[in-house]
Structure 1
Amino acid sequence: MIGIFDSGYGGLSVQKAVMQLMPNTPIVYFADHQYCPYGRKSKEELIERAFFIVDALIEQGAQLIIVACNTATAAAIDTLREKYDIPFVGMEPAIKPAALASTSKKVGVLATEGTFSGKLFKQTKEKFAQGVEVIIQEGVGLVELVEKGLMGTYKAHQVLYPIIAKMKAHRVDHLVLGCTHYPFLKDDIQKMLGDKVRLIDPSPAVAQQAQRLYQKDESKPEIKKYYRFITSGLKVKEYRRNILQLLQLDEENTLFMYE
């Protein structure tokens, strides 16, 4: 089983990519709604939550875990790899493909404060964005839009307008979605930017890396449910309804739990 976690529904954008690439692989997903959003949490808080969630995912049978959150990856993935003897796949801002493909040599990155202040983002930017202007913008309020299911609404337009206006003013030709929640706003963002700006979603690359690292343990008993979903802070009924809608699943081969 593959384990995936995020502060809320954002990591489902990664799960979608994993399901497409590995359709027969069982997945257990943990949405840490009690502590959502992660963007402004301290490194110490995020590491503590990561330990709690990873223990829960391993207990469910996870043999590989995707930290489907850029902020949590920046804060905790090195510590997780030191503590646990299983593979971890983290999120990395997709600056490299954006920088390589850019003709204007101006690319934008939308992410959280925790991602921008992390070592991984700075290293990636320094390594792959030489000669490219990188315009960064914190996506204030975007996580909350997705958590409330407000994609495609007037409220989404109000929140997105000042954020996207900065990217348009700088004439970026690529925009990196540096938070797993943001792909759910892809249609709204694309309409505002226009067709000439390409959006970069790292989820498919993360799924490919998970596929490379994942090895099914044939000694483990067969798992009865393909997909398990755990929440730390929502009523299971609400969680079930939103998961089924966002992933376009039916309830067959799914199990919903509260941790």
Structure 2
Amino acid sequence: MSNKAIGIFDSGIGGTSIWKEIVTMLPNENTIYLADSKHAPYGKLSKNEILSLSIKNTKKLLDLQCKIIVVACNTATTNAIKELRQQFDIPFIGIEPAIKPAALQTKTKRVGVLATKGTLTSKLFAKTSDLYANNIEVIEVIGTGLVELIEKGKIHTPEMHTLLTSYLQPMIEKDIDYLVLGCTHYPYLIPILRKILPNNIVIIDSGEAVARQTKSILLKNSLLSKNSEKAEHCLYTNGNLSVLEDILSNYKISTTASYLEF
């Protein structure tokens, strides 16, 4: 069981930012990644649609013999992980915007959150905000169109720069000192964000924290790999394979990327 793969899914290629952190922290672990690009972004779907897709992805990863599942999608976590844990007898790792560290460290008492509609309107996000950010101002902005551009391979384009500038300007004017990225696609925008944001604004994403939690749960369940051979990383997409391959080319990790209908 311990040498089976860590299963990871997201509504597209964005969760590869989480996958990369997991592979870095757990180099002996095999991984299987599902990029559900056909239905990206989940953030514009209804809760029932998100739940249905999350169940579909989970069943596929179980068919592929995964030992643990990382829901590398903020929207799927906030809308479906409770039901997934009730329905399937396997450990799940979720991801949600890193409001807590931003709220604890802000000096201006104003933090920005850039996320999808599905995340920002979820009960879990509201609960987390109430718990950690009730004494600070949270400026929430829905990143409409960002995931679609990333999924089309249009990260470094004038269109992306213009869109990001329009979303960030209200936060800059509010004097935020932390920007929380509430979508796993958004870490790929950090080079552009750095050009637009003032130098004092700290950008936070959840990748490393999710990798730490994954390691912790594997340890707790005695599921850490005993594999002494080179780990295998299989990534599948039901969308444009070249976009996934382009993202993976940024990493010095041996992978196989394939198209898969799911």
Structure 1 and Structure 2 fold alike (TM over 0.5)? yes
Gaps of 5+ in 2: none
Which one-letter code corresponds to 2:258 in the other structure? F
Match of 1:24 in 2: 28
CA apart distance, 1:195: 1.4
Contact 1:152 1:187 in 2 (8 A): no
Match of 2:46 in 1: 42
Summarize the alignment of residues 52-63 of structure 1 with structure 2, pairs less than 5 Å apart.
52-63=56-67
Q: Give the number of aligned pairs.
A: 254
Out of 178, 181, 190, which is 2:182 matched to? 178
Summarize the alignment of residues 207-218 of structure 1 with structure 2, pairs less than 5 Å apart.
207-214=211-218, 215-216=222-223
Contact 2:37 2:151 in 1 (8 A): no
Summarize the alignment of residues 134-145 of structure 1 with structure 2, pairs less than 5 Å apart.
134-145=138-149
Summarize the alignment of residues 239-258 of structure 1 with structure 2, pairs less than 5 Å apart.
241-251=245-255, 254=256, 256-258=258-260
Which one-letter code corresponds to 1:66 in the other structure? V
Q: Using a 3 Å threshold, how does the CA distance of structure 1 residues 66 and 30 change in structure 2: closer, same or farther?
A: same
Which one-letter code corresponds to 1:172 in the other structure? I
Q: Using a 3 Å threshold, how does the CA distance of structure 1 residues 116 and 63 change in structure 2: closer, same or farther?
A: same
Which one-letter code corresponds to 2:94 in the other structure? G
CA apart distance, 1:242: 2.5
Deviations 1:154-213 (A, max 9, x none): 222111111011111111000000000000001111211121000011111011001101
Partner of 1:63: helix, strand, or coil? strand
Match of 1:227 in 2: 233
Out of 159, 162, 169, which is 1:158 matched to? 162
Partner of 1:39: helix, strand, or coil? helix
Gaps of 5+ in 1: none
Tell me, in whole angstroms, the C-alpha distance in 2 between the residues paired with 1:187 and 1:224: 31
Q: Using structure 2 for the length normalisation, give the TM-score.
A: 0.91
Q: Using a 3 Å threshold, how does the CA distance of structure 1 residues 255 and 189 change in structure 2: closer, same or farther?
A: closer
CA apart distance, 1:149: 2.2
Which one-letter code corresponds to 1:216 in the other structure? L
Larger displacement relative to structure 2 (150-159 or 34-43): 150-159
Which one-letter code corresponds to 2:236 in the other structure? I
Q: Using a 3 Å threshold, how does the CA distance of structure 1 residues 243 and 192 change in structure 2: closer, same or farther?
A: closer
Tell me, in whole angstroms, the C-alpha distance in 2 between the residues paired with 1:133 and 1:97: 14
Out of 84, 95, 100, which is 2:99 matched to? 95
CA apart distance, 1:50: 1.1
Q: Using a 3 Å threshold, how does the CA distance of structure 1 residues 218 and 92 change in structure 2: closer, same or farther?
A: closer
Contact 1:244 1:250 in 2 (8 A): no
CA apart distance, 1:241: 2.6
Partner of 2:111: helix, strand, or coil? strand
Q: Using structure 1 for the length normalisation, give the TM-score.
A: 0.92
CA apart distance, 1:60: 1.2
Partner of 1:180: helix, strand, or coil? coil
CA apart distance, 1:218: 7.2
RMSD between aligned residues? 2.1
Tell me, in whole angstroms, the C-alpha distance in 2 between the residues paired with 1:233 and 1:192: 30
Which one-letter code corresponds to 2:24 in the other structure? Q
Partner of 2:113: helix, strand, or coil? strand
Tell me, in whole angstroms, the C-alpha distance in 2 between the residues paired with 1:81 and 1:166: 38
Which one-letter code corresponds to 1:128 in the other structure? Y
Contact 2:187 2:205 in 1 (8 A): yes
Q: Using a 3 Å threshold, how does the CA distance of structure 1 residues 55 and 13 change in structure 2: closer, same or farther?
A: same
Larger displacement relative to structure 2 (157-166 or 241-250): 241-250
